[in-house]
Amino acid sequence: MRDQHEPRDEFVERLQSTISHEVRRRNSLTESRGWTPRWQMKAAAGMAALVIVSMAIGGAVVALAYQVQDNERRDSLSAVYLRQFQLAQQRLQLAQAEVQTAEQRRVTGLGTEEAILESRQKVAEAEVAVKVAQLQLEEVRLTAREPLNDVSSPLASGRDFVTERWRIERTVPLLALELERTRLRVAAQRFQLGTADSLEVAAVEVRVSDIEAGILAFSQKIDIRQRFLKGEFDAAMAGLRVQEVMAEQRRKALLPKVEFAQKGIQQAQAKFATGMATTIEVNEAKLRLLQLQTELAMTDLELALVRRKIDQLKGK
């Protein structure tokens, strides 16, 4: 039986994994900084001199200085994030005013239903931005450091800010999906009436698939985060799983785009045959398809590499 004063094994393992991940992340940041300009080195030397002088003042001040430094960092970071929060609130007010204008224009027959939906979408996005900024501010005030958004970020005083933020951010594509589905219905009706062609409908279908893939990826990321917190995944595995999800998302979004680009070539060739399009337009359509196919091949390669790394990690 475990001694009640001993830390839980899963806690020890999880924290070790978090620390290892953090060390690797910080080391990679240090590496990427590379060459330091001369003036920065001078500034660093000046700073070092200042630190030495400060240290000479006496060891007794160290503990107090630590506390003060911590509070100063917290205050300056909080000020930055408070400003971001206030800006987000101002943007929300502007977006709300835009909805009112769009609704008034609709009543007077000048605006469209789609314009109202778009302005409501902007309000929803602004609301999400306010909530995210508020969470960031809370995290900074609680931890005195920049908010962390990695799948393996540690909890902050028991709070999982990462999942909270992701859940809020997920509402943006959910609302966008609603808007695109409305557009799809309208496009389908127009197609039946003969006022729109099949390519117009296909374009909206591509956007719907794109958003659906994004929503699924968000849900999967949240699931990976939960499994990391439960100790089912270590930091390295959680990071790889998220890479896999993101590559899958890109793949799912690219497939309908490739199909759409193929239809675009067919339509351009048909138009060319009747003299309504030039060879430039046909070649542009072909180039678009080629670009998308290259992107798809790169995504497939990335997915294969990530999966191989996952298998290697499982095998350890």
| Minimum CB distance to other proteins, residue 9 (Å) | 11
Residues with Cβ within 8 Å of residue 219, at least 6 apart in sequence: 170
The one-letter amino acid at 106: R
Specify the amino acid at residue 194: G
Among residues 52 and 107, whose Cβ is nearest to other proteins? 52
Q: Which two tokens stand for residue 262?
A: 């193929």
Shortest approach of other proteins to residue 67 CB, angstroms? 6
- Cα 228 from chain centroid (whole Å): 19
Pick the closer one to other proteins by CB: 3 or 315: 3
Long-range pairs, 46-53, Cβ under 8 A, ≥24: none
Alpha carbons 8 and 4: distance in angstroms, whole number: 9
Residue 156 in 3-state DSSP?
Answer: strand
The residue (of 53 and 63) whose beta carbon lies closer to other proteins is 63
Which residues, 6+ apart, have CB-to-CB distance to 84 below 8 Å? 133, 136, 137
User: Nearer to other proteins by C-beta: 141 or 263?
Assistant: 141
- Comparing CB distances to other proteins, the nearer of 10 and 113 is 10
Give the shortest CB-50-to-other proteins separation in angstroms. Answer: 13
Shortest distance, position 143 Cβ to other proteins, whole Å = 7
Distance (Å, whole) CA 224 – CA 306: 15
d(CA 76, CA 91): 23
Which C-beta is closer to other proteins: that of 203 or that of 236?
236
User: Rounded to the nearest whole angstrom, what is the least distance from the CB of residue 134 to other proteins in the complex?
Assistant: 19
Please give the residue ranges that form the binding site for other proteins (CB under 8 A): 4-8, 11-12, 15-16, 18-20, 22-24, 26-27, 30-31, 36, 44, 63, 66-67, 70, 143, 145, 154-155, 157-158
Write down the least CB distance from residue 165 to other proteins, Å: 19
Could you tell me which residues are beta bridge partners of residue 204? none
Nearer to other proteins, 20 or 171 (CB): 20
Helix, strand, or coil (residue 71) = helix
Task: Output 73 or 271, the one with its CB closest to other proteins.
Answer: 73
- Name, in order, each residue with C-beta under 8 angstroms of 306's C-beta and a sequence gap of 6 or more: 240, 243, 244, 247
Inter-CA distances, 32 with 35, 65, 206, Å: 9, 31, 37
CB 13 to other proteins: min, Å? 10
CB of 4 to other proteins, least distance (A): 7
Structure tokens at 97: 């005013």
